[in-house]
Amino acid sequence: MKKHYNITVKGRVQGVGFRYNARRQALTLGLDGFARNMSDGSVYIEAEGYQSELDEFVEWCRVGSSGSRIIDVIVSVSNLEGLTGFSINPH
């Protein structure tokens, strides 16, 4: 059964390619969703897929891409929205 995760990644995650690497990782895991920069300097991600792949993606978020420095990752579960593909939204 698929799930929907809302993920907020805090730390040095803007201007370091984090969203693009998150997209690559999400697509590799077969996840759908989006990533966008937030005004507080965090990155907000919504991702849908099977729990094992979502959990693997969250673990990737805890490490991040080269150049990023993760301080915190906050995850909540919400209702499926039927997202398709994985996009990068600027704001």
| Residues belonging to the active site | 19, 37
DSSP readout, the chain?
Answer: -EEEEEEEEEEE-SSSSHHHHHHHHHHHTT-EEEEEE-TTS-EEEEEEEEHHHHHHHHHHHHH-STT-EEEEEEEEEE------SEEEE--
